[in-house]
Amino acid sequence: MPIVRVEMFEGRDNETKRELVQALTREMVRVTGCKEASVSIVITDISKDNWGVGGEIARLKYPD
């Protein structure tokens, strides 16, 4: 059972996440030959306040 984990900044809407889940599932099936029903996608939304990039808090580097 393949599991794909995605960590990204919070703020994307459910339609965007749905499209991402569909695309990742489709590609996992294409590349590995597994069954679609066996693919799990886990999306973790992370606040920019809890993510560091290049030695800085992401909120400071990428303000909204």
Positions marked active-site: 2
- The three state secondary structure string of 1-64 is CCEEEEEEECCCCHHHHHHHHHHHHHHHHHHHCCCHHHCEEEEEEECHHHCEECCEEHHHHCCC
